[in-house]
Each structure stands twice: as C-alpha cells, then as structure tokens.
Amino acid sequence: MFLNQILLFFKKNTFFLFLRLQRTIFASVMLKNYHIRPNQQAEEELLLIQSLQEGSHTAFIYIFKKYYTILCAYAQRFIELEDSEEIVQEVMLYLWEKRTDIHIESSLRQYLFKMTYNRILNYIVKKKIASNAEAIYYDKTQNLLNDINDYQFEELVRNIGKAIESLPESYRTAFVMHRFQGKSYKEIAEVSHVSPKTIDYRIQQSLKILRIKLKDYLPVNLLFIIRIILS
C-alpha cells in the first residue's frame, strides 16, 4: 500500500520532468556553493542506505524520487515504456521489501541499474520463449480445433464461462480485464487500487483454479487446448 501511494503520486510525466530539473539545479547549487566532496557524497549515501535498511520511509521516498525516472528511461532503451515502468516498479518494490537483506558492494546507483538490467534481460528471454512456444503450439491447436465438432466447441465455451463466473470477484475482474479486454497489469492495478504485483497474483491464482475446474469434465482432446488458453 505504501509503494502504491508513491507510484500514483509520481505517475505523471510532467512531474517527472520537473523533478529531474529540480534535482539537477539542486545538485549544481550544492556542488558550487557548498563544495560537496566525492567522499562526502559516499558517506551520505551510506547513511541513506542504513536509514533504508532500518525501515525509513523518508529514505525510500528520496531514493524513489531520485532514481525512478532515470531507470525507466534506461529500461525504455530495450523495451516498451509500459513494460519499463513495471520492471522499475518491481525493482523499487524489491528494494523496499528486501531492504534488510540487500548488500551493495559499490554504489546504490550501480546496484539499481544492475538489478534493472538483469530484470530487463529476464523479461526479454521470457518473451522470446513465449513467442517460440506460441509458434510451436499453433499448428497443433489448429489440428485439434479441426477435429472438434460443434457440440464439443459449445461445451468448451460454456464450461469456460461457468468456471470464470465461479472465480472470486477480485480474481474474476482481473482475469477478464487482462485476458478478454487486453488491459495491462498496470491499467488493471490503477482501476483496482492495488499494485501490479497483486494483479499478477490474482491472475495466476485464477489460472490455477480454472485449470483444476476444467480438467475434471472436459474431453481429453480439449484439455490440450485449455492448457494453451490458460497459460
């Protein structure tokens, strides 16, 4: 909930631009007028990390303000903006939730960039694997669909509808918006007033429930199709 409030607060691009300009001016004035030395900056960063590990919301908000926009811009060099924002949100969430366990060997900036980069690579790899899997299963699915008569197809549609209707309301809403309305996790999260991680959990749980419900009474030759649909 704490992170959600921050994300909603900083979601407008105009504010991000103002924030970056404000930080640049502030840093310039501080370096010029107060002669902040590199070792002094390192000491301040160490204190910031220690405060974060002790659970300081102020320290986390400061880190969020300082790095969120620049990390999104960095991630967007490799993937779409919406996916970039989700990945950086995951990085920030991880930083907060694992604050007592993190070990920063160099600087906080390098740590955040490295974690963002690794998550970008994982995202790209998963997307590539999913794309290949979709191509492999396409022909098999087409052959199976050709073997299904009208009655079996109607039964498939009817049973899927019943199974979806039986889901808990919050699960059903997230699942329908994502799978049938094409909404992203972020868009659903904003409407539902929860985090994208919560939406991801609800959809994954929906898939588990649907697989269990549908496997008990659908014909064997339809199970393969269901497995593809609910993947």
In CATH, what number is assigned to the domain containing residue 155? 1.10.10.10
Give the global pTM. 0.46
Q: Which of these three, 58, 90, 124, is where a domain ends?
A: 124
Residue 88 sits in the same domain as residue 198: no
Residue 12 sits in the same domain as residue 46: yes
Residue 19 sits in the same domain as residue 85: yes
| Dist CA 164 CA 173 (whole Å) | 10
Q: Which of these three, 124, 159, 181, is where a domain ends?
A: 124
Question: What digits encode the pLDDT tens for the residues 204-214?
Answer: 898 888 878 77
DSSP string, 147-192: H--HHHHHHHHHHHHHHHHTS-HHHHHHHHHHHTS---HHHHHHHH
The residue segments making up the domain with residue 173 are 148-229
| Dist CA 2 CA 65 (whole Å) | 14
Q: Of 52, 61, 57, 53, whose CA–CA distance to 7 is shortest?
A: 61
How many distinct structural domains can be found in the chain? 2
Residue 173 sits in the same domain as residue 72: no
Question: What digits encode the pLDDT tens for the residues 100-157?
Answer: 988 887 789 889 999 999 999 988 888 777 666 556 555 555 555 555 555 666 676 7
